[in-house]
A and B are shown apart, each in its own frame.
Chain A
Amino acid sequence: MDSQIDIPAEDEHDSAYAGLLVNDAHWAFGTDFEDPLAGVDTTIPDGVDAPTLAAYALMLGDDALVMSHRVSEWTSNAPDLEDDIALSNIALDLLGQSRLLLARAAKADGSVVPALPEGSPAPPEDALAFFREAHQLRNVRLAELVNGDFAEAVVRVLLFSVWRLATFERLRDSRDHVLAAVAAKGVKELAYHRDYSARWFVTLAQGTDESRRRLLAALEELWPLWPELFDTHAVEAAAAASGVGVDPAEVRAAAEGVLDQVLDAADVPRPEARRRAGVLGRTGRDGMHGEPLSRMLAEMQSVARAHPMGQW
């Protein structure tokens, strides 16, 4: 903030370049806020284990990061302009949630942040997003699948947002001020995501034979990953026990209730597909992911990894 600036003689709003005169050197791959949590009380609540809080924030942050990236892949590829914009906005909201949650994790326990070359301008949340390997990510596997058709996007956003909204509704009461604030804000965003995807779910189910066929196929394909969302990992159990997190098992009834409303309105029966097993019992929360996540990260991270000192 110490940089010397020249005030343009003309109204600076007339020039798109005027803003570039301030804070000249930005980290090249983010917005370079000194601390996205500066205005929030980041004190770790009494009796809360800092590494547990960090691990829990990483889980919620990774869910949003990976889901955001998959949804963002629809940008310029959606069936029409309105849905292109809608999906891009959903991706943006999730990216914002991810940024705050990864920053919270880094603040709670700095040891989770990958080491970067000395002097790198990358803030901790970007180090977490761009410099971890797939096995270090803790997202649920639903988020990472390779995109299918538009019906698959609708079903995936629906399952994800129904679950996450039910979680955030409870997380608003977290003893951690940051998680409570992120949840209070996220609830408003996720309500739009859920209702958008729920309306499209009903529309496709009640549309043409082809749209219903595609919707049912997408639901059948994604259904095996729905139960994983409600598994309680040891980190989540510990976070819930200390009052900072939400036990996923406890939001199942609420999430299933909302999903049933959508299925009823769409006249779609609940699928019978069995849950997808983990690998030796390990799933996304344990860092066990499918190969597509590695490919996704390779693309998402390659530029930042090539330029860890990048400024512009």
Chain B
Amino acid sequence: MLTLADLGVLRDVDVVGDSHVVVDITPTYSGCPAMAAMRDDLVRELQGAGFDRVEVRVSLDPAWTTDWITPEGRAALAAAGIAPPGPAPSTSGPIPLTLLPTARQVRCPQCDSPATELVSEFGSTACKAQYRCTSCLEPFDHVKEI
């Protein structure tokens, strides 16, 4: 199972009283369309756990980074066929232009081959790039570093 905490999306949980809880989540990308689904999941689970009053807040600062994905989260992503991200690049100061495709060491989550190639920096969701394994020929997603 991949949890919101493992993804680094769950930022804070504050139990205010016996039946009142405040939860902070942060979007991976500004336009992440899954935020409402995540909120509804949290509300349902927490109400099921006995919290009558559940507040889910969006936290924008600091901005989400893939470095917050836990080792357990990375293992769960790989087990689901999604290559986990490497270290996030620094985003302080001016961001240098890169005209060549981003060089990453991505192993195929299906056959573990290092022989993979980038298909596109944009994948099935905003947070993923599309890759292809040149050994087993399977396409797969890679969570791109931000």
Chain A residues in the interface with B (C-beta under 8 A): 1, 5, 7, 12, 18-19, 21-23, 26, 31-33, 35-40, 82-83, 85-86, 88-90, 92-97, 99-100, 165-166, 169, 177-178, 180-182, 184-189, 191-192, 194-196, 198-199, 202, 254, 258, 261-262, 265
Contact B97 A261 (CB under 8 A): yes
Q: 1/0 contact trace for B22-51 toward A, CB 8 Å?
A: 001011011111011101110110011000
- Chain A residues within 8 Å of B35, by CB: 31, 33
- Chain B residues within 8 Å of A33, by CB: 35-36, 39, 58
Contact A86 B120 (CB under 8 A): yes
- Chain B residues within 8 Å of A86, by CB: 120-122
Among B24, B29, B40, the residue within 8 A (CB) of A23 is B40
| Nearest neighbor of A162 in chain B, beta-carbon distance | B97
Q: List 18 A-B contacts (CB under 8 A).
A: A1-B43, A19-B44, A23-B40, A39-B58, A82-B120, A86-B121, A89-B125, A96-B30, A100-B30, A165-B95, A178-B60, A184-B91, A188-B146, A189-B126, A189-B146, A192-B122, A196-B121, A261-B99
- Chain A residues within 8 Å of B32, by CB: 96
If A39-B57, A196-B121 are given as contacts, then 17 extra A-B residue pairs at C-beta distance below 8 Å, sorted by A number, are A19-B44, A21-B44, A39-B59, A82-B122, A88-B122, A90-B122, A93-B30, A97-B31, A166-B94, A181-B60, A184-B63, A185-B64, A188-B63, A189-B30, A195-B121, A196-B122, A265-B99
- Chain A residues within 8 Å of B30, by CB: 93, 96-97, 99-100, 182, 185-186, 189
| Nearest neighbor of A83 in chain B, beta-carbon distance | B120
> In the complex, A88→B55 CA distance in Å?
31
Contact A89 B63 (CB under 8 A): no
Contact B126 A93 (CB under 8 A): yes
Among A21, A26, A188, A195, the residue within 8 A (CB) of B98 is A195
| Nearest neighbor of B126 in chain A, beta-carbon distance | A89
- Chain B residues within 8 Å of A40, by CB: 59-61
> In the complex, A21→B53 CA distance in Å?
16
Interface residues of B in 55-108 (CB under 8 A from A): 55, 57-64, 91, 93-95, 97-101
| Nearest neighbor of A259 in chain B, beta-carbon distance | B97
Q: Taking each of B47, B63, B91, B122, which has the highest tally of chain A beta carbons within 10 Å of its own beta carbon?
A: B122
- Chain A residues within 8 Å of B58, by CB: 33, 35-39
Given A40-B61, A93-B30, A96-B32 in contact, is the A202-B95 Cβ separation under 8 Å? no
Least distance between B15 CB and chain A CB atoms (Å): 16
- Chain A residues within 8 Å of B43, by CB: 1, 22-23
Does B13 reach chain A (CB closer than 8 Å)?
no
- Chain A residues within 8 Å of B41, by CB: 19
> In the complex, A99→B32 CA distance in Å?
11
Contact B44 A1 (CB under 8 A): no
> In the complex, A191→B145 CA distance in Å?
12
